[in-house]
């Protein structure tokens, strides 16, 4: 699936390559809907620097539109690659 990036997607210094690697390597979790009534999908991944990152994209059926990617810092308990209280 194609991936497009909002300007805000890399403002927390998570590289596009790291985001693409995560999206292509594992399934995401549905975490809600966008204002366009499309599914919001989230991924949790181990970043290139050994820090967990969260990625959120809107599923526009033919492509993902990445709107958010940032390192996770003390945001809740971890259980089975899912972190509570992120979204």
Tell me whether strands 2-5 and 63-71 are parallel, antiparallel or unpaired: parallel
Cα separation, 30 vs 41, in Å, equals 5
**Is the per-residue pLDDT at 82 higher than 70?**
no
CA 4 from centroid of its chain's CA atoms: 13
pLDDT digits (tens, 9 = 90+) for 32-79: 999 999 999 999 988 777 788 999 999 999 999 999 999 887 555 555
* pTM > 0.85: no
Q: Please state the domain extents for the chain.
A: 2-73
């Amino acid at each position: 699936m194609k991936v497009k990036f909002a300007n805000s997607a890399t403002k927390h210094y998570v590289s596009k390559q790291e985001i693409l690697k995560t999206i292509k390597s594992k399934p995401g979790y549905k975490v809600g809907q966008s204002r366009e009534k499309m599914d919001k999908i989230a991924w949790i991944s181990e970043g290139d620097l050994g820090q967990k990152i969260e990625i959120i994209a809107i599923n526009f059926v033919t492509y993902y539109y990445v709107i958010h990617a940032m390192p996770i810092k003390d945001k809740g308990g971890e259980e089975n690659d899912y972190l509570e209280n992120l979204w």
